[in-house]
């Protein structure tokens, strides 16, 4: 049986240049057609998928994202988009009813840090708060994603998180992946102690239901079911991406067996929750 939550990285294009990005897909050319992407959603659902996260690159750059989100919703998948928010408003205008979750990526409450990381501009933090409020007003649940690096590991984001009010705050230790972010990520890497200190600084938020949900490097490796822009599963358990044969050619079960994903690690990192 397939792990119930899938990350579908629709395309490699992005309108940000995050220096730590683990999904640059610089080793992947092209993407599957929209029609094949629809067929792939059907296949994943038939295999037992329950939740589909549309990611990238930046998924809102995909010209057929609204169509894909609507189709995923129509076949019974819980729908989610993980985004930097720059182009989120048009998707909300047209497809808020088809969206269950939006995950907004904010790594710092200081816009200068966002700029230094390559994530956003001087208005990035303020705009993220506006988008979070708009999502909630439309009935879309909101998640906050934060990558902890050498530039923000000593920061206290508590006031920002209280204002943002995410249902889930995912906090990731910056993850090096050979072939994806090597050559850029090295100055941003932190050790386990620095990551733990960031988590401990924010532990009091638990009393307000805002505790960080931590994922250290080992938690992330081999615990996600991910699909690349060509419609192949890929895994990261070895520290680099390993790609399966195209899912539509060999089937979900056979393709997934080629990349090695641990159900135990998925469960241990809290991958299953009340979505």
- Condensed to tens digits (0 to 9), the pLDDT of residues 20-64 reads 999 999 999 999 999 999 999 999 999 999 999 999 999 999 999
- Condensed to tens digits (0 to 9), the pLDDT of residues 86-131 reads 999 999 999 999 999 999 999 999 999 999 999 989 999 999 999 9
Strands 101-105 and 212-215: unpaired
Point out the catalytic residue in the list 3, 16, 21, 77. Answer: 21
pLDDT at 80: 98
Contact between residue 167 and residue 142 where contact means Cβ atoms under 8 Å apart: yes
pLDDT confidence tier of residue 2, bands split at 50, 70 and 90: confident
pLDDT at 100: 98
Point out the catalytic residue in the list 18, 23, 44, 220. Answer: 18
Asked, as a colleague might, if the bond just before 57 is cis with ω within 30 of 0, I would say: yes
Q: Is 153 a catalytic residue?
A: no
pLDDT at 147: 98
- Condensed to tens digits (0 to 9), the pLDDT of residues 217-238 reads 999 999 999 999 999 999 999 9
Q: Which residues of 243-258 are buried (b: 16+ CB within 10 A; e: fewer)?
A: bbebbbeeebeebbee
pLDDT at 101: 98
pLDDT at 201: 98
Q: What are phi and psi of 6, to 5 degrees?
A: -120, 140
- The answer to whether the Cα torsion of 155, 174, 256, 59 is positive or negative is positive
Rounded to two decimals, the pTM is 0.96
- Condensed to tens digits (0 to 9), the pLDDT of residues 75-96 reads 999 999 999 999 999 999 999 9
Q: Is 21 a catalytic residue?
A: yes
What superfamily does domain 5-268 belong to in CATH? Aldolase class I (3.20.20.70)
Average pLDDT of span 163-177: 98
């Amino acid at each position: 049986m397939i792990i119930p939550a899938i990350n579908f990285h629709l395309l490699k294009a992005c309108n940000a240049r995050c220096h730590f990005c683990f999904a640059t897909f610089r080793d992947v050319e092209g993407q599957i057609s929209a029609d094949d992407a629809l067929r792939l959603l059907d296949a994943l659902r038939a295999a037992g998928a329950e939740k589909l996260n549309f990611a990238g690159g930046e998924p809102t750059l995909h010209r057929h994202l609204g169509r894909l989100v609507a189709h995923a919703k129509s076949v019974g998948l819980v729908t989610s988009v993980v985004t930097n928010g720059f182009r989120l408003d048009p998707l909300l205008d047209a497809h808020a009813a088809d969206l269950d979750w939006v995950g907004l990526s904010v790594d710092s409450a200081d816009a200068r840090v966002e700029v230094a990381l390559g994530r956003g501009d001087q208005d990035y933090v303020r705009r993220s708060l506006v988008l979070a409020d708009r999502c909630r007003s439309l009935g879309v649940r909101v998640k906050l994603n934060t990558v902890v690096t050498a530039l923000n590991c000593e920061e206290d984001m508590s006031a920002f998180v209280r204002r943002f009010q995410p249902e889930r705050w995912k906090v990731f230790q910056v993850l090096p992946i050979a072939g994806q972010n090597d050559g850029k990520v090295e100055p941003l890497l932190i050790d386990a102690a620095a990551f733990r200190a960031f988590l401990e600084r924010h532990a009091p938020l638990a009393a307000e239901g805002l505790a960080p949900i931590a994922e250290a490097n080992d938690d992330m490796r081999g615990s996600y079911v991910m699909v690349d822009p060509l419609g192949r599963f890929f895994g990261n358990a070895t520290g680099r991406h390993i790609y399966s044969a195209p899912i539509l050619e060999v089937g979900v079960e056979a393709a997934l067996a080629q990349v090695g994903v641990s159900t135990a690690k998925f469960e241990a990192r809290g991958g299953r929750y009340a979505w």
